[in-house]
Structure 1
Amino acid sequence: MPYSSPIHDRNLDTNNKQIIIVLIMFATMITLILYGLFALSNHLVDFIPVSFEQKIGALILGDFEQGNQINNTQIQLNKLLDKIEQKLPLDTPEKRDYQVIYVSEDVVNAIALPGDKIVIYQGLLEKIESENELVMILGHEIGHFAHRDHLRSIGNLILMKMVINYFLGGSEILQSGADLTNLIVNAQYNQNQEKKADLFGLNLLYQYYGHINGATDFFLRLNKEEKTNPEIAFLSSHPLPKKRIINLEKLIKENNYPSKEKTILQIS
C-alpha cells in the first residue's frame, strides 16, 4: 500500500490557498485600477470645451454628409429644431447651435454627434406619425448633449480598446476617421443616461407644447415591432422600448403633466 505523507498534502493545500489569495488580490487590484480610470475619464469629460468637441465632430462629419445634399426635409427639420432650442433652460452653461443632418437611408435611428449635430435617418422619420413624437426624439438627443453622454460613451469605448490592446496586444486604437465614425455610431448609453435624456426630452416636450401627448407613441410602436424586426438600429443602440415606456409613464404621472391634442407632422 503506497504511503502518502499528510504533512506534504497539507503543504500543497496551503500553497494552493496562497496562490488563490494572490490571484484574487491581483484581480481586485486590476479591477479597482480600471474602475478608477473609467471614473476619471467620465469626470474629465465635463471639462472638455465645446470648441474641442466640435473639432472631434468635424473629423467624422463628412461620412454622414457624403452623398446627402441639403434638401427641403433637412431645412424643415432644422427650422423645428431652432424652435425647440428657444425652449431650452435659460441657465444652460454653454452656448450651442444644434443642427440636424438628414440622411436618406432606410435606417431607424437617431445619433448625437460631437459638435452639436443630430443625425436623423429617413427610416426613423418615416415611422414618426406626429410632430410631438419628433420633438420628443430631438429633445432626447439634446439631453445627451446636455449631459455629455456622447463624449462619455466614446471615451469609455476608446479606454476599453486601450485596456484590451494592452493586455492582449493589437493594432492602433483608431487607424482612420472611419474607425472613429464606427465608434460613434456603435456607442451605447447606459440605462441611467437614457433615463436622464428621456426626462430632459419629456420636459422639453412640455415646454414646447404645454402638454406631453405623443411622448411614448414612437416607443409603443417600436415595442410592437420588436418581436418581428429585432434588428432595428434604434433597438440595438437604445434600451428596450418597453422599459422606456414604463419609465416615461412614471415620470408623466409624477410631474402631473397634462395631455392635449397632438400636432400633425408636416415634414416630408
Structure 2
Amino acid sequence: MSDRNPPPSNRQLLILLAIVLGFIALLFFSLSSLLDWAISQIPISLEQKLGELIVPLYQEQAKNSPEQDSLNRLLDSLEYHLDNQSGQKRDYKILYITQSTVNAYAVPGDTIILFEGLIKAVQSENELMMILGHELGHFHHRDHLRSLGKSLVIKIVIASIFGDTGTLASSAGIAIETISNSRYSQSQEYQADQFGLMLLNKTYGHVAGATDFFNRLSQKETVNWDFLATHPASQRRVKKLKKIINQNQYKLGQKSPLKL
C-alpha cells in the first residue's frame, strides 16, 4: 500500500523556510517603518519622562564634580547656538563617569553620558566640542530613540515568540544595554557629524580640531576602543567632514586647550 502523504522534499522545505524568513523580514521592516513614524510623533515631554526611568541608573555612576560642572558649561555654550527646533523645551546635561571607557552617547532625557577615558583621549577643547555637537545632532534627529526603539521591539518580539517573560520584565536593563551598545546607521552618523560641525563653527567662528579626534581614531582601528565599536570607520568620517568644510567654506582657526 503506497504512502499517500510522502515526506516533503528538501526543495519544499527550503521553499517553506524562505517563505517564513521572508514573512519575518517583512514584519520587521513594517515594524521598523511604523516605529520611525511613531518616534517622530513622540513629544519631547514624553521622551523626558522616559529619561526619568533611565537616567537615574547612570546618575548612580556619576558624581557631582568640578570636571562635570566644567563640561556642562561647555555644553551650554553649544546649546546656546541651537535653533528653536533643536533646543525647544530641552535642558541638555552631561553625566561624567570616571571610567576608562573611551565613549560618549546620547540618552533619552536630554542627557549625554561622557566617560573619563574619552576626555583623556582628546587633545583640545575643540575636539571635545565636536563630539558633544555630534551627540546633540543625534538628539536633533532623534536617532537615540530610533536605535533604542528598534532594539527593544526586536527583543520584545523574540521574547514574545519564545515566551521569555524574564526579558520583558527586565526592559529597563535591556534599555541600558541597548543604549550603551547602540550602533547608528552610517547616514545617521554622518548627519550627526554635519550637525556637530555646524555647531562648532557657530560657537568658535571656525572648525579647527573638527577632524583631529577621528584622525587619531583611524590610526587606532586595531585598538579596542568602545567608540570604534559603535561608530563607522574614522577615515571615511574624516573625508566626509573635509568635504563639508570645503563646501561650506568653513574657516580653520586656533584651537583652545581643554581645561577642566
- TM-score normalised by length of structure 2: 0.89
Whole-angstrom CA distance in 1 between matches of 2:169 and 2:259: 41
Alignment partner of 1:86 is 2:80: yes
Whole-angstrom CA distance in 1 between matches of 2:11 and 2:87: 55
Whether contact under 8 Å (1:107, 1:123) holds in the other structure is yes
3-state SS of 1:59 partner: helix
Moved more, 144-153 or 240-249: 240-249
Q: Residue 125 of structure 1 corresponds to which residue in structure 2?
A: 119
3-state SS of 1:172 partner: helix
User: What displacement does 1:261 show?
Assistant: 1.2
Of 194, 198, 204, which aligns to 2:189? 194
Alignment partner of 1:38 is 2:32: yes
How many residues of Structure 1 are paired with residues of Structure 2 in the alignment?
A: 253
Moved more, 24-33 or 183-192: 24-33
Identity within the alignment, %: 41
Whole-angstrom CA distance in 2 between matches of 1:150 and 1:91: 17
Alignment of 1:147-162 (within 5 A): 147-162=141-156
Unpaired stretches in structure 2, ≥5 consecutive residues: 1-5
Q: Residue 211 of structure 1 corresponds to which residue in structure 2?
A: 206
Indicate how the Cα distance of structure 1 residues 47 and 91 shifts in structure 2: closer, same or farther if over 3 A, else same: closer
Whole-angstrom CA distance in 2 between matches of 1:107 and 1:92: 28
Q: Give per-residue Cα distances to partners, 1:121-175, cap 9 Å, x unaligned.
A: 1100011111111110110000000000000000110111123234444343351
Whole-angstrom CA distance in 2 between matches of 1:220 and 1:181: 29
User: What displacement does 1:178 show?
Assistant: 3.0
Moved more, 97-106 or 43-52: 43-52
Alignment partner of 1:48 is 2:42: yes
Whole-angstrom CA distance in 1 between matches of 2:87 and 2:212: 31
Whole-angstrom CA distance in 1 between matches of 2:11 and 2:69: 68
Whole-angstrom CA distance in 2 between matches of 1:138 and 1:254: 22
Moved more, 38-47 or 85-94: 85-94
Moved more, 214-223 or 54-63: 54-63
Whether contact under 8 Å (1:102, 1:119) holds in the other structure is yes
Whether contact under 8 Å (2:208, 2:254) holds in the other structure is yes
RMSD over aligned CA atoms reads: 2.2
Indicate how the Cα distance of structure 1 residues 169 and 71 shifts in structure 2: closer, same or farther if over 3 A, else same: same
Q: Residue 112 of structure 1 corresponds to which residue in structure 2?
A: 106
Q: Residue 258 of structure 1 corresponds to which residue in structure 2?
A: 251
Indicate how the Cα distance of structure 1 residues 145 and 168 shifts in structure 2: closer, same or farther if over 3 A, else same: same
Counterpart residue type for residue 135 of structure 1? M
| Bigger-Rg structure (1/2) | 1
Whole-angstrom CA distance in 2 between matches of 1:84 and 1:200: 11
Moved more, 239-248 or 36-45: 239-248
3-state SS of 1:112 partner: strand
Counterpart residue type for residue 148 of structure 1? R
Counterpart residue type for residue 247 of structure 1? K
User: What displacement does 1:89 show?
Assistant: 1.9
Moved more, 134-143 or 216-225: 216-225
Q: Residue 68 of structure 1 corresponds to which residue in structure 2?
A: 62
3-state SS of 2:94 partner: strand
User: What displacement does 1:17 show?
Assistant: 6.4
User: What displacement does 1:63 show?
Assistant: 2.3
- TM-score normalised by length of structure 1: 0.86
Q: Residue 3 of structure 2 corresponds to which residue in structure 1?
A: none
Whether contact under 8 Å (2:152, 2:175) holds in the other structure is no
Counterpart residue type for residue 52 of structure 1? L
Indicate how the Cα distance of structure 1 residues 209 and 150 shifts in structure 2: closer, same or farther if over 3 A, else same: same
User: What displacement does 1:110 show?
Assistant: 0.3
Counterpart residue type for residue 192 of structure 1? S
User: What displacement does 1:62 show?
Assistant: 2.4
Q: Residue 6 of structure 1 corresponds to which residue in structure 2?
A: none
3-state SS of 1:102 partner: strand
Q: Give per-residue Cα distances to partners, 1:43-78, cap 9 Å, x unaligned.
A: 110111222211222222222221432110011111
3-state SS of 2:167 partner: coil
Whether contact under 8 Å (1:104, 1:121) holds in the other structure is yes
Whole-angstrom CA distance in 2 between matches of 1:241 and 1:107: 18
Counterpart residue type for residue 132 of structure 1? N
